[in-house]
Structure 1
Amino acid sequence: MGKNGFALEMKSQELETAKVVAIPVPWGMTGYGFDGSDKNAAVSILEAFSNFNAYDPRFGDEADFALIDSPVSGEHVYGKAEAYLNWTGNGRNPDSLKVEMMKHLEDVDIQSHKMVKSVRKASTEILALEKIPCVIGGDHSTALGLMQALTAKYQEFSILQLDAHMDLKDPGLNFEFSHSSVMHHAAKLEQAKKFFQVGVRDFSKEEYARASKERKRFFMYTARSISRGIYGSGNDWMEVVEQILRKIDECVYISFDIDVLEPYLCPNAARQVPGGLNFEQVFFLIEALVEYGIKIIGFDLSEVATEPADVLVGARALQRLSANTSYSWH
């Protein structure tokens, strides 16, 4: 794809045979503890992925997928995002910098709007080819455009959010599109009927109150409730999976934030939280959905750091997500 627009530049054979088409989105400017490392993860993940044996005995070669170039770049505003985050996070917020910082915020929001729009456009074109789009971030805000694009094709679907955080924060006076507000924006989509938040364990009072109030739409499976069920009541993970299977729609979008996993599996993630799920536990759930006949209509993989250990886990997650997505349409 060219730098100034979206175009599918794939080998005809790849385009013909692939069911999943990946959109790398190098975007990572809206997180506290900013270092921008996750914005470059997509390239590293795809490089590692290309060195794997794609064959899976359960799915055959279903992990094969096509790739487009990234439709976005935010390099010229990363410095502004960092300056704004430093200003709001130092506890002093000197008024002498307020005008400058508000302009930085405005500039970042403008570019964020463009990012969301570009991802939505790319996803729409992929869907028009009867392919399944996925986003490889970048921070979690990169997923919104894809979820928006799905609403034109699917009248109703569920969102399976695998995450340490609820990401339901109202942006308020901060970045309009940030990693912590992506599900706040997704909840505005009428077609997204149900949200299954699995593994969440770090959230605000307001986020928890909102999810609790909207119990017919938000289904929380916190890390604590999962562990208490397993260790305290003798329930096993399959019971949690079966609860989800009974409630979820026949079409599902999977939002996979790497920090849903235990920190040893994402040691350099910016917002890791102890008490996460393990790798096979997550994919037991996803594979159960597929076996149950649920169709995966898209997915994202976000918040992966660029260090080798993190990239390896991220690439393996991408492999399994792609294989399950393709197979769900058989």
Structure 2
Amino acid sequence: MSTLSQFDPNSVGNPNNNIFGLPFSEEESRLVIIPVPWEVTVSYNAGTARVADHLFKASLQVDLFDPEYTDVWQQGFFMRPLDRKVLTKSDFLRKEAELYINYISQGDEVAANKFMCKTLRDINEGSLFLNNWVYEQARDILAADKLVAVLGGDHSTPLGLFKAIGEKYSDFAILQIDAHMDLRKAYEGFNYSHASIMYNALEEIPQIKKLVQVGIRDYCDEELAYMESSNQRVITFFDKDIKERLYEGELWKNIVDEIVAVLPDNIFISFDIDGLNPKLCPHTGTPVHGGFEVQEIFYLFKKMHAAGKNIIGFDLNEVGVSQNEWDENVGARVLYKLCNLLTASQTKVSDAV
């Protein structure tokens, strides 16, 4: 049993401890992070399936002092070990997906090729396996009265967590920080593509009453039409509109106030790292120019917390692997802020009961 009396939060991070060098076991921790090493359907750069180990190493450099959430870490954050069987399955299906994507990109008909038909079927079945694997882990963690988060992997990974959260909360909203809308239906024929995560969430999980997207700057007309016909179930703050308002003299504070105002009480944060400016995450799967500074998003989080919003879970996805660990360094600091925000929010709720 670890004791904080023997732990120095100001010392160098101990790699023999858990994430951020914290000395907690899973049983002692308030928050449990599920690493999901999956990137089968990524359509551009790969590597995010292997980020958990790299991000763990970078997390040892994160200072535990957070002036906004002082000592929240003392409640315990724990990241489960990476499941190598899931990673192996992702690697195998990723190779199959690459062949398939190359085939369809040349305009060839899938139905005319039995091998490609089988490949597509195998990938879709693999995604169903992954969704259920995440769901079962998240369900069990929530049943133990703990908080839960997902560290991807690509952005398809949190669907099982959404489902588990939906069994605990009768209604909630997703706040999506992202460059992409992710509202495509079965993109490239993959039913559970990373580009379809929010479409699948809205179609399969009725407890999700609202999706609020922030930073969107790369999307198709199909996704725009889905948003426009959603009767305000999907509300999108486009990056272009945000930037133009800032250029014309509006304050980020006022835009943040608008975002917070449309959010209901229960909020799940789905953070695709490519929502940030790509100078901060150049090795993410699908980088797009534009986006946010980290502190701009942290300010949004601060205002949500100050407004009394109930943060109920989060995922962090699409963090790339880089030679100098820059992406992982940024990702680790985003992860730490999310851990503090979620735990502080739930502590506040518990104290009020």
Mark the CA change 1:133 to 1:83 in structure 2 (over 3 Å): closer, same or farther.
same
1:321 aligned to which of 332, 335, 338: 338
Maintained 8 Å contact 1:200/1:223: yes
Maintained 8 Å contact 2:110/2:117: no
Mark the CA change 1:296 to 1:104 in structure 2 (over 3 Å): closer, same or farther.
same
Partner-residue secondary structure (3-state), 1:155: coil
The 5-angstrom pairing of residues 74-153 of structure 1 reads 74=89, 75-89=91-105, 91-93=106-108, 98-153=113-168
Partner-residue secondary structure (3-state), 2:315: strand
Mark the CA change 1:265 to 1:280 in structure 2 (over 3 Å): closer, same or farther.
same
1:15 aligned to which of 26, 31, 35: 26
Residue equivalent to 1:310 = 327
> CA–CA distance in 2 between the matches of 1:253 and 1:302?
14
Residue equivalent to 1:36 = 46
Do residues 158 (structure 1) and 173 (structure 2) align?
Answer: yes
1:32 shift after superposition: 1.4
1:67 aligned to which of 43, 65, 79: 79
1:230 aligned to which of 240, 246, 253: 246
Do residues 220 (structure 1) and 231 (structure 2) align?
Answer: no
Percent identical among aligned pairs is: 34
> CA–CA distance in 1 between the matches of 2:209 and 2:293?
27
Q: Deviations over 1:262-288 (max 9, x none)?
A: 110111122111111111001110121
> CA–CA distance in 2 between the matches of 1:164 and 1:95?
30
Maintained 8 Å contact 1:166/1:200: yes
The 5-angstrom pairing of residues 179-258 of structure 1 reads 179-188=194-203, 189-232=205-248, 234-258=249-273
Maintained 8 Å contact 2:41/2:94: no
In structure 2, give the amino acid aligned to 1:42: A
Maintained 8 Å contact 1:24/1:43: no
Partner-residue secondary structure (3-state), 1:164: coil
2:58 aligned to which of 33, 45, 48: 48
1:321 shift after superposition: 0.7
Residue equivalent to 1:266 = 281
Moved more, 54-63 or 130-139: 54-63
Maintained 8 Å contact 1:171/1:177: yes
Partner-residue secondary structure (3-state), 2:25: helix
In structure 2, give the amino acid aligned to 1:139: D
What root-mean-square deviation, in Å, do the aligned CA atoms of Structure 1 and Structure 2 show?
2.1
> CA–CA distance in 2 between the matches of 1:77 and 1:304?
20
In structure 2, give the amino acid aligned to 1:54: L
Partner-residue secondary structure (3-state), 2:218: coil
> CA–CA distance in 1 between the matches of 2:111 and 2:142?
48
In structure 1, give the amino acid aligned to 2:95: G
So what's the TM-score if we normalise by structure 2? 0.85
In structure 2, give the amino acid aligned to 1:209: A
1:183 shift after superposition: 0.2
Mark the CA change 1:216 to 1:109 in structure 2 (over 3 Å): closer, same or farther.
same
Mark the CA change 1:305 to 1:12 in structure 2 (over 3 Å): closer, same or farther.
closer
Maintained 8 Å contact 2:184/2:223: yes
So what's the TM-score if we normalise by structure 1? 0.91
Q: Deviations over 1:264-319 (max 9, x none)?
A: 01111221111111110011101211111112111111111111111111111101
Moved more, 62-71 or 78-87: 62-71
1:98 shift after superposition: 1.9
In structure 1, give the amino acid aligned to 2:335: L
Partner-residue secondary structure (3-state), 1:199: strand
Mark the CA change 1:155 to 1:12 in structure 2 (over 3 Å): closer, same or farther.
farther
After TM superposition, where is structure 1 displaced by more than 4 Å over at least 4 residues in a row?
A: 9-13, 94-97
Moved more, 58-67 or 132-141: 58-67
Maintained 8 Å contact 1:162/1:257: yes
Maintained 8 Å contact 1:55/1:62: no
1:30 shift after superposition: 0.4
Partner-residue secondary structure (3-state), 2:328: helix
Moved more, 92-101 or 46-55: 92-101
Equivalent residues, number = 319
Maintained 8 Å contact 1:269/1:304: yes
